[in-house]
Structure 1
Amino acid sequence: MHSRSIRKTRAAALVAAGALLLTACSGGSEPEETSADAGAAGSDAVAAAEEFLVPWNGEGEKNLLIDEPLDAPVKEGAHVVYLDVGTPVSAVMWNNLQAPAELLGLKLERVETGRDAQSVNTAMNTVVELAPDGVINITLDPIFFESQIEQLDALGIPIVSGSVMNTVEYGLPEAFNGPEWMTTNGQVLGAAAIARSGGAEDLVFYNVPEFPFSKYELEGAQSKVAELCPECELRVVDIPIAELGSTAADRVISDLQANPQTEYFIAAVDEVQIGLPSKLELAGIDVPGIGMWTAPPNNEQVAAGDQDATLSVDLNLMMWTVLDQLLREMGGQDYEWPDVATRASTLTRVTEQANAPEDPVVGYVAIADYQDRFAANWLVD
């Protein structure tokens, strides 16, 4: 809805600029560079962005990232701990682990870590005392629990990670969605901002510095925007993690009011957009945007046409994949991730109103029969 209005404005500018160019040519003088040339460059940028985004349209055959059976079935009652950092998306991921845990007969336990160093240290000491068979960590930086990593390693307890950028540095298995994956999806966000806005030149990126992955999304967006549109400006505004779920939308409103030239925004975490559309309307601001790490309210907003788009992550497939990695680590089984473009395009898709998920809680489903495929690989009868 919003992006169409931007395209109409740019189209009108192109027509006007074209008329000026014809007038200059009829005078017999050499035409100088006009806004028509800038418009053509903008059109090229949009076309290049749309071409880049093709793998992220959600179409085509997709496979599990590790598509081979386990060496042996998982033991009944295996104890797996999930580290919950307390964000809405973290809660969604916890819920997404319930079905595979039931399928495998796992004892799944959630440990809330908090967000400060002291809370994390206390929580991780609890994990060591629990001595589970394996640990799943989503987004928590290992720098906060380095000593507990050593203790768990001494006990032979593996830790697998999602959206953690420095696993290898701390002796942990490489996450499938580490720095390269995040950078690639950041490029998708940048390309989507260009394509969906019809070639906007004034953009802003809402960064959440406490999330280590956010800076990689930012770097990816910056590199792709610079490649597609060297004359574009991509401002960066930090939104503290403590404001997610509370005042993040208000910070966006204040920024857009202070920078009325902004045409489109990118959010590293789509929780920034929860409740934002109504506040934008109330403030009289018509600036669309796209984010990543979609929560159910984002899906509802996209389906209603209130939110322009989101870079959907199939969070069910993500959590089943992370659990699959943990099972292989617990069993001492070798595995290998595919290339980063395959990993990124398998789990993520640009979602707009036309392809919004029917069920906002389930969200984007990349592989319709993923449960059956995992069950076969996990040797479940």
Structure 2
Amino acid sequence: MKQIQRPPRRGRTATRAFGALATAAALTVLAACGGQGGSSNGSSAAADPAAVQKATDATTALSAPPTFGLTDADKVDPAGAAGKKLWIIDISSSIPLVQVSDAATTQALGLVGATVKTYDGKGSVTEYTRGIQAAIADKADVIALYAIDPNLVAGPIQAAADAGIKVVVVQYGDPGAQLPKNVAAQVTYPYTDAGAAMANFIVSDAKGAAVGVEFISASDVSNSKAIVGGFQDTLKAACPNCSLTVDDVPVADWQTKITTQVNSTLGSHPDIKYVVPVYDGMATFAVPAIKTSGKKDVKLVSFNATKSIMQNLKDGDTVAADVGSPQAWEGWALADQFIRIVGGNPPLEDEKVGLRMFTAQNIGRIDLSAPESTWYGVDYESGYKKLWGVGE
């Protein structure tokens, strides 16, 4: 796989926090998945039928409702959580998905007598630090960093550890990923699987045709690397003659650069049939670019399942598929880790928060006016209540 990378602008660096005010210029990687002579255009040869069927089967399986994966062996006594305090330092409290998760955590911990305080990090390392300092001063029992790379605030995390406060990271990396020093646990999604799911959909939807794909990554987001890896590895294995163009756009540049970047890439790569922003927050700016390009055969595939992108999918507009990451479920999972930690129990390595693929085949059965928690068809709330022995 040949890669050509445009160096970032001088004097600018990108942070790895989701929503951080990164100022690195976008870089472009042209990756030819098995193409001839290092070309990014690939070959016209179709994918192996067996690979297409495998991708189709994987897409169908992920389109079904996920299951609650924790069992009676994971039961925990919540008595130790009563009167305890969780501080959540959000990457940015203005992000709707963050609000959904925070509200779910607050609801869940209210059942066991614990309280939640949230702090708006405003996409700033300075604010993350202030939030951690405020939590320490307030004698928090646990501090959760929501979508914030803990490596950016190693000093404040050390201060929390010195004060006897445990730190949990949310959306850091794949389950089982090695955690940084002084981080007790994480709550996350299988990001590599999410990337693979998007690639599988494309191979299946294109019926194995050697299509061009633009993938828009965000290297300043810690979990982006896993998504990119899962996508690239799966696409290369299933469709070695597909061509892949990867454009990296830091979070701070999404609003100003994604639309222009997509327009430019579609103009210079006429073989592209799919645009894949790594997050729905990027898709908001990619959709207009696809529309203005006049290329009606270009589809968008994304990750997160935010309401606006899901509505676009339901309307049969530009979005062809969206891999959903249930935010309210994630909020309950954070509550579960909190209960375990403050009760002196080991945290779970994997809370097993599931994903669901949404496509034209199942979006018609989803009521987008209902809470996000209903879109996934799994009663995780009852599952956690059973584990905790409350509210039944």
Per the shorter chain, which TM-score range? Answer: 0.7 to 0.9
Ranges in structure 2 where 5+ consecutive residues have no aligned partner: 1-42
2:67/2:354 contact within 8 Å kept: no
Aligned residues: 338
1:193/1:289 contact within 8 Å kept: no
* 1:254 alignment partner in structure 2: 264
| Counterpart Cα distance in 2 of 1:157 and 1:320 | 20
Ranges in structure 1 where 5+ consecutive residues have no aligned partner: 1-35
| Counterpart Cα distance in 2 of 1:271 and 1:66 | 37
Write out aligned runs for 1:117-132 (5 A). Answer: 117-132=125-140
* 1:81 alignment partner in structure 2: 87
| Counterpart Cα distance in 2 of 1:161 and 1:191 | 29
Amino acid at match of 1:292: F
Q: For 1:351, what is the secondary structure of its paired residue?
A: strand
1:230 correspondence with 2:240: yes
1:314/1:364 contact within 8 Å kept: no
| Counterpart Cα distance in 1 of 2:99 and 2:179 | 26
1:38 correspondence with 2:45: yes
Write out aligned runs for 1:73-152 (5 A). Answer: 73-86=79-92, 87-152=95-160
| Counterpart Cα distance in 1 of 2:346 and 2:214 | 42
How far the C-alpha of 1:45 sits from its partner, in A, is 3.2
How far the C-alpha of 1:203 sits from its partner, in A, is 1.1
Identity of aligned pairs, percent? 18
* 1:24 alignment partner in structure 2: none
| Counterpart Cα distance in 2 of 1:167 and 1:245 | 32
* 1:214 alignment partner in structure 2: 224
Q: For 2:186, what is the secondary structure of its paired residue?
A: coil
How far the C-alpha of 1:367 sits from its partner, in A, is 5.2
Gap change, CA 1:122 and 1:359, over 3 Å in 2: same
Whose relative contact order is higher, 1 or 2, with alpha carbons under 8 Å and at least 6 apart?
2
Q: For 2:184, what is the secondary structure of its paired residue?
A: coil
Q: For 2:183, what is the secondary structure of its paired residue?
A: coil
1:162/1:176 contact within 8 Å kept: yes
* 1:358 alignment partner in structure 2: 367
Q: State the TM-score, normalized to the length of structure 1.
A: 0.79
Amino acid at match of 2:281: E
Gap change, CA 1:370 and 1:234, over 3 Å in 2: same
| Counterpart Cα distance in 2 of 1:174 and 1:162 | 9
1:195 correspondence with 2:201: no
* 1:32 alignment partner in structure 2: none
How much is the aligned-residue C-alpha RMSD, in angstroms?
2.8
* 1:273 alignment partner in structure 2: 283
2:103/2:331 contact within 8 Å kept: no
How far the C-alpha of 1:277 sits from its partner, in A, is 3.7
Q: For 2:143, what is the secondary structure of its paired residue?
A: strand
Write out aligned runs for 1:253-332 (5 A). Answer: 253-274=263-284, 276-286=286-296, 287-306=298-317, 307-332=319-344
Amino acid at match of 1:182: Y
Higher helix fraction (1 or 2)? 1
Say which one has the larger Rg.
1
| Counterpart Cα distance in 2 of 1:46 and 1:233 | 16
| Counterpart Cα distance in 2 of 1:42 and 1:64 | 37
* 1:47 alignment partner in structure 2: 53
